[in-house]
Structure 1
Amino acid sequence: MGSVTTPSADRRATISLFSRLRTADGQADPFPLYAELRARGAVSRAPWGGFLVTGYSACEQVLRNGVWLEPDTRWREQQGARTRWSAPSSREISRTLPALNPPEHTRVRRSAGSFDRTTIDRIGLRVSDVVDRLLDTLHERLRAGEADFAELVSEELPVATVGDWLGLPSADWPRLRELTHEQVFTQELLPHASQLARSDAAMAELRSYFLDLVRARRRRPGDDPVSRWISTWDELEPDQDKADEAVYFLALFVLLAALETTATLLSTMTLRLVEDPGRWSRLALRPDLVPAFVEETLRYDPPTHVISRVAAQDTLLADTEVAAGEMVHLMVGAAHRDPARFPDPDTFDPLRNPSHLAFSWGIHYCLGAPLARLEAQTLLRHLIARLPQLTLVRRPALAPRVAFRRLLNLDVALA
């Protein structure tokens, strides 16, 4: 007779799997581990409570359906005072746009505006100039030997883009980038207490910085988004302190959304380009494939591997009963390799022109997706047009995370 897997054995196996995900080998290639998880079904129990969702169809259903909500401030308060959800950084991030639910989400999103074509075109001119400057610096360094693309380009382009758009002093950009990397732990899947403490400290500093910025722009408004948000919120909120705080949360959201994940996209995209010499040659001959190359990067290894939602009511997901208030973790990195959705999912193929969930979906579709695509496509076009072919010197190290991917280095050399 075959062996029967008990719930306790399955729980131990899942805990072991996530322990392996945190290792250097697990971060370098988490996809075989995702395949193990996906083999247990599109939806499976998480050892710490809630569910893990690995099937593409089930993930898409959650993101498109209003039955599923963000774990907002109210939900986090209900989890108790001695949980990760009660950490100051968790409470703070729950008041930013991505963590809000209607009707407050609708109100705040409308106040934020959007990256329309005029805005994108204006920002695009700046992005093009910054990319050229960064590639000039990279090329100079490459003439002397190898260079870290992540440090010189991927980490610099997003902060220069959003910093310039928000009108933040360039002297502040390095510290803001550091704080962005520190605060991300509160959004991780299973943060340690020490990591939450780092997020708490970073978030407190970011709060102080942006509230000071809002107050300064109120005194001296300019032609920038923060000044426009102040005018908008003064009409929406009669209490000036509450209006200033609303603008602070918008500015904070834009910074956090624009830096961490975009930098990862730029590094991952470039890794795909330089790890296979044929890809560079093919793209140089077919620059029209640049948008598809970016989209396949987002499918193949998205910057965010986990998106969490909460059931608003008792519901059924892929034949699994989920009670109201229970959390589901959408394992997007696993869903993007679901063979039921993507033929030959472990092959990087820009010609597949796929759909993906990297920018979420529904009402929470990423507000900054046009900006991220602009930066990635501009960088890729300029890279293949202006520089000699590059080659990968060594495989990059990755931060020991599960939800938020981050390449710590990307060492390249002239081919």
Structure 2
Amino acid sequence: MTASTTGTNQVHFDPYDHEIVADPYPVFARLRNEAPLYRNDTHDFFALSRYDDVSAVLQDHTTYSSAKGDILELIQADIEYPPGVLIFEDPPIHPIHRRILSRIFTPKRIAALEPEIRDFCVRALDPLVGSGGFDVIADLGAQVPMRAIGMLLGIPESEQEAVRDAVDESLRTEPGKPMSQDQLLVDGEAFTQYVDWRADHLSDDIISQLLQAEIEDETGTVRRLARQEIVTYVTVLAGAGNETTGRLIGWATKLLAEHPEQRRELVADHSLIPGAIEEILRLEPPGPFFCRYVTRDVEWYGTTVPRGSVLMAILAAANRDERRYENPDTFDIRRKVAHLSFGGGIHFCLGNALARLEGRVVLEEMLKRFPTWDVDLSAARMSPTSTVRGWETLPIRLP
């Protein structure tokens, strides 16, 4: 049976309730054990929370479609997006667009960014030595991803903050409310000028490569990308590149402050940092859930989920499933079990290598300068968004 949203003892999950979002894990544990298929009547969605169930949804893009988006409000609004919004596409168009970006997000290109990302971290952190503390989001979490994706795209450094702030603002939600209709629309106006300028000043950045790329589209026609397709690509990449990695940096800072003994291990041995990044992503995924449009009637736990429903797959709950992990709520930098935070199947996160690189470099440079710190949670503030979960401000105190 499914759990409903009524009754004093029944589990209740509302993705727009900021009190639940602040610490959703007790609710997620109840969902896994009491309502593995959950029904929210108020917001009209079903939800799965166990690891095997979420993983199965990720692998089946035919039944659980991304063609209407992966955000609850977006699917329900039934908005038609322009070509190029990769995460909102299924075959046959999705593999065509993904191949274009795969040619750009090569391991060699991502690795080549490391010296520049490290240089920026050094320049950002060195002045903070001896300061007594700083806001890890303002000084790192909101800066490093913006610089990295800006370098990849070819956006001038002087313009990167304005672009990041526009993306952040577009994702804000009021407590208890879904995203507005205006927020659901991909507005590429901020990037149009860069695309137009790059058309006359080609370089080796992503915008230049997209301008020169040829594709064989779903009709079999070999052609260049249309200007609007390129603007859409750039808009999506900028948003994804900024939001989630900044949240990762915040969660890394908080978790290591809460586990000083494991932080000491990382200070002594930087080779443990990549494993720590994976555990941070498992325990506190920046994107806690995604949604899919159900294309046919399916049965879960004796209940039919009708065709046309919205199904939410809660990654953050699956990542702590006691059926999959031993001591799932325990932070362990030496844990070797994989997680679902980058998704799976045809929509596995294309930027995963970049996110891992940024997280590793940030931790290496922080731990070199600040082997200990405390988080001032009384002055910290979570970001008011319904699609990603993390910190808007996170002050730390240094000894």
* TMscore range, shorter length: 0.7 to 0.9
In 2, are the aligned partners of 1:189 and 1:402 still within 8 Å (CA)? no
CA offsets, 1:362-387, max 9 Å, x none? 10000000000000011112221233
Gaps of 5+ in 1: none
Q: Which one-letter code corresponds to 1:170 in the other structure?
A: E
Matched residue count: 393
2:105 pairs with 1:115: yes
User: 2:189: which partner in 1?
Assistant: 208
- By how many angstroms is 1:93 displaced? 7.9
User: 1:404: which partner in 2?
Assistant: 388
2:310 pairs with 1:327: yes
In 2, are the aligned partners of 1:131 and 1:382 still within 8 Å (CA)? yes
2:16 pairs with 1:30: no
Change (3 A) 1:373 1:97: same
User: 1:282: which partner in 2?
Assistant: 265
Partner SS for 1:291: helix
Please show how residues 160-171 of structure 1 align to structure 2 within 5 Å: 160-171=147-158
In 2, are the aligned partners of 1:151 and 1:409 still within 8 Å (CA)? yes
Q: Tell me the TM-score normalised to structure 1 length.
A: 0.85
Change (3 A) 1:5 1:327: closer
Distance in 1 (CA, whole Å) between partners of 2:108 and 2:66 is 34
Q: Which one-letter code corresponds to 1:378 in the other structure?
A: V
Distance in 1 (CA, whole Å) between partners of 2:226 and 2:172 is 28
Partner SS for 1:350: coil
Select the residue among 346, 361, 377 that pairs with 2:344: 361
User: 1:103: which partner in 2?
Assistant: 92
- By how many angstroms is 1:303 displaced? 0.1
Distance in 1 (CA, whole Å) between partners of 2:166 and 2:230 is 19
Select the residue among 41, 44, 68 that pairs with 2:63: 68
In 2, are the aligned partners of 1:277 and 1:391 still within 8 Å (CA)? no
Please show how residues 195-344 of structure 1 align to structure 2 within 5 Å: 195-196=179-180, 199=183, 203-204=186-187, 207-233=188-214, 243-344=226-327
Partner SS for 1:250: helix
- By how many angstroms is 1:75 displaced? 11
Q: Which one-letter code corresponds to 1:40 in the other structure?
A: E
In 1, are the aligned partners of 2:3 and 2:38 still within 8 Å (CA)? no
User: 1:52: which partner in 2?
Assistant: 47
- By how many angstroms is 1:223 displaced? 1.9
Distance in 2 (CA, whole Å) between partners of 1:29 and 1:12 is 19
Partner SS for 1:151: helix
Distance in 1 (CA, whole Å) between partners of 2:273 and 2:182 is 38
Please show how residues 129-144 of structure 1 align to structure 2 within 5 Å: 129-139=119-129, 143-144=130-131
- By how many angstroms is 1:402 displaced? 4.3
Distance in 1 (CA, whole Å) between partners of 2:141 and 2:352 is 17
4+ long deviations beyond 6 Å: 237-240
Please show how residues 383-398 of structure 1 align to structure 2 within 5 Å: 383-394=366-377, 396-398=380-382
Partner SS for 1:45: strand
Gaps of 5+ in 2: none
In 1, are the aligned partners of 2:70 and 2:88 still within 8 Å (CA)? no
Distance in 2 (CA, whole Å) between partners of 1:73 and 1:215 is 29
Distance in 1 (CA, whole Å) between partners of 2:145 and 2:389 is 16
In 2, are the aligned partners of 1:218 and 1:227 still within 8 Å (CA)? yes
- By how many angstroms is 1:196 displaced? 1.4
Distance in 2 (CA, whole Å) between partners of 1:30 and 1:8 is 16
Change (3 A) 1:190 1:249: farther
- By how many angstroms is 1:239 displaced? 7.8
- By how many angstroms is 1:12 displaced? 9.9
Change (3 A) 1:19 1:335: closer
CA offsets, 1:310-369, max 9 Å, x none? 223223345443233322101111111211111111111112122111100010000000
- By how many angstroms is 1:407 displaced? 0.2
Q: Tell me the TM-score normalised to structure 2 length.
A: 0.88
CA offsets, 1:58-88, max 9 Å, x none? 0001001233343424999xx9xxx865769
Select the residue among 32, 40, 43 that pairs with 2:34: 40
Distance in 2 (CA, whole Å) between partners of 1:227 and 1:119 is 14
- By how many angstroms is 1:134 displaced? 1.6
Select the residue among 99, 114, 117 that pairs with 1:124: 114
Change (3 A) 1:94 1:61: farther
